[in-house]
Structure 1
Amino acid sequence: MSKMGLTAALVTALTLTLSGCSMDTTAPGSARGEAASDAKGSFGPVDCRKAKCIALTFDAGPGKDTPKLLDILKEKKVHATFFLL
């Protein structure tokens, strides 16, 4: 492959990679404000050996699908705790 062909292939690969990435437009400050205004629930330790528990992690934080997730949790009466860093 020629140098020009290799360069074109690399530029194409980079363009396709970056176009597949999305950007989270929720500012951490606004996410914290929304979460604090809706804060309800009880506090205290939970023993997952006695209660039905599951732990999920989300690396990207609040996003466009967060309201749907919260609606499903509410519909199924699932208690959840969220930590914002």
Structure 2
Amino acid sequence: MVEALRQAIEEATGASTRTASYFHWRVGMLAGQDGVVVPSRATFYRLFERMSHGRHTNGSARMRRSLVDRSSAAPARRACSGIA
């Protein structure tokens, strides 16, 4: 079920904004294929909140895309040698 939620979150990264109830439905569709039971709505929402924290999964699509672009274009950091 957790893997299905990860997949649903990844699918929504470039898409329009989705609600938590959409993710509950989508995970039911993905997990149901494998015979996995999706937990109650309240339990699912708690799990969803933890797994989507900091990703703006059900927030602004513009912010989500910006975060993805930022992480893929981030330059490599060099360790400071301490020599001035």
Both structures adopt the same fold (TM-score exceeding 0.5): no
Query: TM-score interval w.r.t. the shorter chain?
Result: under 0.3
More helix by share: 2
